[in-house]
Structure 1
Amino acid sequence: MEHDFDGVFKCFKSIFLCFLLSVTYLASLHVWNSRFNRDHPSTIKKRFISAFTMLFVSPCFLYIGLDDETVEKAAFLEIMGLRYQGLGQAIFVPLFLTMILFLGPISMELCNGFSKLYAKRKEENQQHTNKLIWIRNHLVAPLSEEFTYRSCMLPVLLQSFTPTATVLSSPLFFGVAHFHHMWERIHHMGMSFDSALKISCFQFTYTTMFGMYSAYLFYRTGHFVSIFIVHAFCNHMGFPDIAEICTYKPRKRITIVSLFVLGFVSWCFLLVPLTEPRRYHNNLLLF
């Protein structure tokens, strides 16, 4: 009976700490009480400070949540995925795997012409605001979100739950966290409640799905760098513009759709072998 109580308390402690960490991360973004929207330079710069601060706050939650047995088995930095062994593989292999998944969207960009795409983005990036948005989407957001929601959250949950349960459930913290954009859409962008809710629900769905993928990569590779790079790449690609495919000529449309299917099927077959822990010298499957 006492053993069962200890197990329940341990599970409750893990969930509560992760919930508190998620709330703290969101609070750090809104503590400034800015009257501008999230894309305003003033808001972005202030949230950069919040993201930097969370790099020091988040490990405190991890330290509190770790058992003594876990701390004795590995260094604290290694538990967070900050290690050298297998670093080269962690940089390139998960990115390659993700690019296979995005074979369809990448082919669409090739068809549209990379030169036109990047010429346009280069022109846009001349503006100060767009530079800040690029830095936020490709560097600061992937860095702070992956560090908080994966490096500092997953090890705590893995002590109390199975890897499968952790990979499937932990992204809910990440997905729900994106609902704070709903408030911004209503109050700063003038959207109706229904429109903001629909967009937020859609965003919750795909961020949760990505969170599962990222959690799986972190558990298998044991490297923070792998999920950081994959997150940055996914932010760069964005959600595929399915509607654009309908505008293509029949032959081109069939080719693009086939590449979407080929990419997904190939990704399914390669997911397990390309994330084999031994490939990344990951001996930290301690839980």
Structure 2
Amino acid sequence: MSNVSSAQKPPVIAPSTAATLSVLFTVIYVVPFYLSAATRPSLELSRDAPSSIRARIRAVTFSSVVSLALTVYVLHHYGNASPKEVLKLLGVWPVSLVDTAKTILLVAILFAGPLFEAGIVEGGLKYWIRGTRAYETLSSWIGYRNLVVVCQHHSRGPVTEELIWRSLVIPLHILARFSGKQIIFLTPLYFGIAHAHHLYEFRLTHPRTPMFMAILRSVFQFAYTSLFGFFAAFVFLRTGNLLSIILAHSFCNVMGLPRFWGRVGVEAGVPVGPTGLGKDDEGQGSQSKSVAWTAAYYVILVAGAVGFYLFLFPLTGSSYALPVVLIEE
């Protein structure tokens, strides 16, 4: 098996070199946000200002180009990779739309509960079919920032994050002969650490929030960004497809964290059923409907989690997998 023989070769670059470059990419990515008044977080300048959005996009584009150039140089000069092999390691080419569709299906299974709530309970299905909300979102600077280049809360978004922490960082670790498991569980930590500076930003914009709560928020953010990173690294190794994880990242940004408690179909703090109706038929009908929707949501949520576990390997299998052994035979 070619993957096994490849994994047994001596490292092309030292593991410390791969780690150093990964940290360097993280620094190159974050530091530019603090070098300019147009991108630096402050109480005076809103992140939603078009000038701020354009400046942040320019900053991440510059950082991404520099990191991409360094990675291509290392892959070609030290890894002796041909242009075709470089594109393969970066997950840029070949592109399998079938693998991409399978990845999105897998993520949709995981988010079956939230999809049910947003599409059926809240009536969003008709807008999804028409594509009106997608058009409205992507036609604005704010929507383009959040879902494509730079995320509203994280200062960056799916394209640049997946390019840096998957497409560039993972091939370096492959050259250093890290195992598949090491790559899956190590490389996302760079991704998580890159969000650590948000503690400073949050304290700046929310000075009245207790430090403990701010730290707790940052720890939680580090946890869920790392969890997504584990999944994204796994899919990238299994499919060798950058497009798949960019779209999966965008999907997760749209859906947000799933609901794990509370009723669906009602707003927080609002009584179920019309005000003043007590326990008449209309009020009871509305409450019964909410209870039924809530029960269905949690059943679908659990079923989606089980389905994700069962289909994780079947739906990520691909002939374009990167040369890393994930399961020893």
| Superposed pair shares fold, TM > 0.5 | yes
Match of 1:43 among 52, 75, 84: 52
Provide Cα deviations, 1:2-27, integer angstroms capped at 9, x if missing partner: xxxx86x8111111111111111111
* Matching residue of 2:158: 142
Distance 2:215 2:126 in 1: 34
> Amino acid of the residue matched to residue 51 of structure 1?
V
Q: CA deviation at 1:253?
A: 2.3
Distance 2:247 2:220 in 1: 23
**Cα RMSD over matched residues?**
2.9
| Structure with greater helix share of residues | 1
Kindly indicate whether the alpha-carbon contact (under 8 Å) linking 2:163 and 2:242 is maintained by their aligned counterparts in 1: yes
Provide Cα deviations, 1:181-228, integer angstroms capped at 9, x if missing partner: 221111123344223212111111111000110111111110110011
Q: CA deviation at 1:252?
A: 2.7
Q: Does 1:32 align with 2:73?
A: no
Give the number of the structure with larger relative contact order, counting CA–CA contacts within 8 Å between residues 6 or more apart: 1
Q: Does 1:227 align with 2:265?
A: no
Kindly indicate whether the alpha-carbon contact (under 8 Å) linking 1:61 and 1:152 is maintained by their aligned counterparts in 2: no
> Amino acid of the residue matched to residue 170 of structure 1?
T
Match of 2:121 among 108, 111, 114: 111
* Matching residue of 2:254: 236
Match of 1:23 among 27, 34, 43: 27
Distance 2:248 2:215 in 1: 27
Provide Cα deviations, 1:157-202, integer angstroms capped at 9, x if missing partner: 1233101111011111111111222211111233442232121111
Q: CA deviation at 1:77?
A: 1.9
Alignment coverage as a number of residue pairs? 273
Q: Mapping of 1:4-15 within 5 angstroms?
A: 10-15=14-19
Distance 2:174 2:204 in 1: 38
Kindly indicate whether the alpha-carbon contact (under 8 Å) linking 1:37 and 1:188 is maintained by their aligned counterparts in 2: no
Match of 1:178 among 195, 203, 212: 195
* Matching residue of 1:3: none
Provide Cα deviations, 1:78-121, integer angstroms capped at 9, x if missing partner: 2111113x5211331111110001001111112121169889x9
> Amino acid of the residue matched to residue 221 of structure 1?
T
TM-score (norm: length of structure 1): 0.84
Kindly indicate whether the alpha-carbon contact (under 8 Å) linking 2:91 and 2:242 is maintained by their aligned counterparts in 1: yes
Between stretches 143-152 and 72-81, larger displacement belongs to: 72-81
> Amino acid of the residue matched to residue 216 of structure 1?
F
* Matching residue of 2:282: none
Provide Cα deviations, 1:12-66, integer angstroms capped at 9, x if missing partner: 1111111111111111233224332544433222111012223311213323543
Q: Percent of pairs identical after alignment?
A: 27
Distance 1:272 1:100 in 2: 13
Secondary structure at the aligned position of 1:81 is classed as coil
Q: Does 1:155 align with 2:171?
A: yes
Secondary structure at the aligned position of 1:240 is classed as coil
Question: Alpha carbons of 1:60 and 1:46: their partners in 2 closer, same or farther (altered >3 Å)?
Answer: same
Q: Mapping of 1:50-199 within 5 angstroms?
A: 50-66=59-75, 68-69=78-79, 71-72=81-82, 74-84=84-94, 86-109=95-118, 110-114=120-124, 131-140=140-149, 141-160=157-176, 161-190=178-207, 191-199=209-217
TM-score (norm: length of structure 2): 0.74
Distance 1:197 1:183 in 2: 10
Kindly indicate whether the alpha-carbon contact (under 8 Å) linking 2:239 and 2:322 is maintained by their aligned counterparts in 1: no
Task: Provide structure 2 residue ranges, at least 5 long, that are not aligned to the other structure.
Answer: 1-9, 150-156, 267-286
Between stretches 70-79 and 155-164, larger displacement belongs to: 70-79
Distance 2:126 2:96 in 1: 34
Secondary structure at the aligned position of 2:91 is classed as coil
Question: Alpha carbons of 1:43 and 1:262: their partners in 2 closer, same or farther (altered >3 Å)?
Answer: same
Kindly indicate whether the alpha-carbon contact (under 8 Å) linking 2:179 and 2:324 is maintained by their aligned counterparts in 1: no
Secondary structure at the aligned position of 1:76 is classed as helix
> Amino acid of the residue matched to residue 31 of structure 1?
L
Q: Does 1:273 align with 2:289?
A: no
Between stretches 231-240 and 194-203, larger displacement belongs to: 194-203
Kindly indicate whether the alpha-carbon contact (under 8 Å) linking 1:179 and 1:204 is maintained by their aligned counterparts in 2: yes
